[in-house]
Amino acid sequence: MDTFVEHFHTKKDVDRMQYEPFGRTGLKVSKVSFGTGTFSQLYGNLDEAEALEAVKVAVKRGINYFDTAPFYGQGRSEQVLGKALRQIPRQAFYVATKVGRYERDFERMFDYSAGKTRESVERSLKLLGVECIDVVQIHDVEFAPNLDIIVEETLPTLEALRSEGKLRFIGVSAYPVEVLKQIISKAPGRFDTVLSYCRNTLFDDVLKEYIPFFKEHNLAIICASGHGMGLLTNGGPQPWHPADQQLKTVCKEAADYCKREGVELGKLAMHHCTQMAGPATFLAGMQTTALVDINLDAYLNGLSEKEAEVLAYLKERVFSKVNNTNWEGVELEAYWAAMKK
């Protein structure tokens, strides 16, 4: 393994982890990867010491891919992750961040301009404490006024930064999978990775229709948030979650059933998510060593008989009630309505 470091890693854990070719990049990434949207106020108060320990434990146990973004806590996530990564040999990890989505207030939330893109990457390098970022992704491209600005400003700026040695690979993310297909078709051969989130879960499996297209374009597929941004956990989603009330009610019913049965819905969701063929890695938000353990357990050891029974019951009796499997357009409408004001 390219990222294995003698005397740092726990060899028996690394030997159990599966590493997949990451598209055409030449990298090999761990099948389970670590998302740090959780290192921000988006997911409640953060215990920083616990977060730092979670990163270290994750790397020792074979996770080698970490994902962050300026939007997660307006730099806080990158700062905390950077602090953790400074204690870890550089060879042991790959780090990915994003450009394009920044502030919490609508007026300054998105900026896909060349100038802002460059400034953002320079800031990320400092916060993360690395000389070169492995992957920089253009964040939530569906919010751009049009996709031309991505192709004419954001992407060429990232390509220039790549030639300066500040980043290695370029990716793209969005919630509507059709928009990912559009932007990749507009700039063929120019993206290395594609990140799709909440589209391979217990209530939505639309990602599988697009896997052949992404494969055709030799892209590394990052399948993120099999937990549906908290919907599929015993703790439930944050107040800002854009899903409609009916979907939230169904997920709460599932969580309540799991609690009664002494099972963690998040583990079932992670196990279900990682069964999909095609993605190079399954990215899950984590902020504690307990969550690292749950997600690795779901992937490495599968489910107990009891957990498998609970999952089968939920699939048949609970998630079959879902009316609206996604919240496409909800955040977009709110954003454009606010911008028109």
Residues identified as active-site: 72
Name the one residue in this structure whose structure tokens are 């009664």. Answer: 260
DSSP state, residue 8 = T
Cβ-in-10-Å burial (0-12, 13-18, 19+) of 45 comes to exposed
Q: What are phi and psi of 171, to 5 degrees?
A: -130, 180
With a CB cutoff of 8 Å and minimum separation 6, the contacts of 323 are 244, 246, 247
Cβ density class 112-150: b for 16+ within 10 Å, e for less: bebebbbebbeebbebbbbeebbbbbbbbbbbbeebebb
Q: For residues 305 and 264, give the distance between their C-alpha atoms in angstroms, rounded to a whole number.
A: 14
CB 57 within 8 A of CB 292: yes
What is the number of other CB atoms lying within 10 angstroms of the CB of residue 262?
9
Gyration radius (Cα) of the chain, Å: 19
Q: For residues 115 and 204, give the distance between their C-alpha atoms in angstroms, rounded to a whole number.
A: 37
Tell me the sheet residues that pair with 66.
34, 95
Q: For residues 252 and 245, give the distance between their C-alpha atoms in angstroms, rounded to a whole number.
A: 10
